[in-house]
Structure 1
Amino acid sequence: MSSQQHAPNFSLAGKVTVVTGASRGIGRACALACAAAGSDIVLGVRVPAKAGDLVAEIEAMGRKALAVELDIPNKDHIAGLIKTAVDAFGRIDVLVNNVGVAPGDLAERVEESAVDEILNINIKGTFLMTQAVARHMITRKQGRIISISSQAGTNALRGEAIYCMSKAAINHLTRCLAAEWAEHGITVNTVSPTFIHTDGTQRYLAEAENYKATVDHIPLGRIGETSDVTGVVVFLASPAASLITGANLLVDGGWSVA
């Protein structure tokens, strides 16, 4: 057996990847990283017309890209995205669930509307998107589903009780779906980042007190970069991770074990 047969394969060449919430932050970075690994990309975004630069960036890598309207958990949007992807590329090999919201407040002050928003988008939306794509994958007897969760699903964060609950639910849902869909050749995993430098965290981390308090919680001593997350996503989507399912991979710099 040659040394090449022993080497892990991290390539996504010839794959088709759907990334939701792809317009910015971790979602955008995941789309670019999967494209760099060889995959064509379907971008689930609220306003496709605003994703032209991202489409162009992916196409400059020699990959194909489509921006499709997606407002989670709108079932018509979900169905439309899947139809568009299959019509254009013939299949969906990888789904990266990245849509989520996190309006925080102390538990005693949380409004019912905030509870509804978080559960509707983070839990219901993730499930409906995953279910719809999995139905397609089941017919093909293969697929990779990766949900961007959070360290909040493992750790107790003050002022984030409902968000923490939603991410803990996604982590366990992942285990349940992994058990159900393994017989169809589908792997289901989550990636749980700590604080990552993105547009969404920029304002919070710009305050010196917040930055220091956050870094002090991270044993490795730094805020994460999107590349810290996308490396794990590409790994889970690749043949190198073919025996991993039902896992929650923490990208938290050690926060959960400190």
Structure 2
Amino acid sequence: MVIKFKHSATCLLVSLTLLLSGCANTGSTLLSDTKPDARLTSGEQSKFFTASGAQGCAVGAVAGAGIGALAGLAAGNTKKVVAGAAIGGAAGCAAGFATNYYLDSLKKNYATTADRLQAMGKDINKDTVNVETASTAMKKVISENHATLTKISLQKDKAGFDKAGAAKDLSQIDANIKEMKSQIKAMNETKAGYKVALQAQKATTAAEKAKLATLTKENDQLSAQISALESEANGLYSQRQAISLG
């Protein structure tokens, strides 16, 4: 009886983790079909951050689902296995269990601290350029969306207001915000992964210590760029939340 339950619970766990990881990659189909502004999705950097966010969420969801299901499995309760996996999977995606993924890949691919630092230098520099490119596109969209929201706010109570057109504009802005939040979340996961990896390095030589200090500073600068961009996106979100067409 116990063996049978454990087999069934294991199957449930595998199924749930696969389901959670699939949801993390594909996104919800219940949201609006409006596509975000093409400027947010056309560049290679946007594709990278979108893919990174999905991958990080998937890894976190699977890890969290496994942890959440352990209590139910140990207690011999199928319902608790299901509930624990679902709750743990959602928490894993949100909490960013995947921040250690970059460090693990460095350990796997590079045997020495010097080689890992060199690889991190290239990665941080590349992602700094990616963030700068993405920021340029986002800031243009944010500026235009601010103007659109201001126009709607000023006109929505006037006679002859085009409510249908405004609703379409708001749907577009909502899609833009969703895309920007997704990419910024991936950026934050990326710089957090760098921070974890940098803190884990054991520099012994003067050259390694100097390189580590330089990379830490560069990652701090990357983090500041992301925070500034996130602040602008949050400002747009706040303005959007204040508008209702009734």
Structure 2 length-normalised TM: 0.30
Structure with larger RCO (C-alpha < 8 A, sep 6+):
2
Q: Normalized per residue, which structure has more helix?
A: 2
Larger CA Rg, structure 1 vs 2: 2
